[in-house]
Amino acid sequence: MATAMSDAALPQEYRTGSDPRTLRDALGCFATGVTVVTCLDDEKNPVGLTANSFTALSLDPPLLLVCVALNSASAAALGRAERFAVNVLQTGQQPASITFSTRVEDRFGLTEWSMGEHGVPVLMDSLSVFECARHAVHEGGDHFILVGEVVKATFEPGLDPLLYFRGRYRRLHFD
């Protein structure tokens, strides 16, 4: 006996020309970590933004990449910075993720940070921090792809990552 399925139970589909929200929802099915990318602007003020489009690119040489929205307040500074940091957030840093994803003027006044060994702002208590030298910047639609060569990486093995999935913050669940 066949039963009717509700529309919510049917797979959703995006095709060229579809509502962009559908594509965004499909992309949201990929669970990601949450990072804050930081650098100094031309006046040596700390700037940064929340990003979840981050990945390792190469081990030899040690490269990573992060995607930055062109319309973000920190985009110009990050695109020009010779050095930057990617701060991978842990579960206790959800407030920092929210702060750096908004247009709050004094993001660093609300978040504990220090100057890293390579002259970039580093968020305290992060799960891991990658201090990078700019390797390349590539166009990518409404974003640019910032490629960095890792010059220093630190991490705290006892902390759990802050995760983002389907538009919400999540935590790991171990059995």
Average pLDDT, the chain: 90
Tell me the longest C-alpha to C-alpha distance in the chain: 70
Instruction: Check if the beta carbon of residue 12 is closer than 8 Å to that of residue 25.
Output: yes
User: What is the tens place of the pLDDT at every residue in 134-170?
Assistant: 999 999 999 999 999 999 999 999 999 999 988 888 8
Does 127 score more than 90 pLDDT?
yes
Does 6 score more than 60 pLDDT?
no
Mean pLDDT for the stretch of residues 82-105: 94
Q: Which of 57, 63, 51 is nearest to 144 (CA)?
A: 51
Domains, the chain, in order of start with CATH, read: 33-167 (2.30.110.10)
- The two structure tokens encoding residue 8: 């919510």
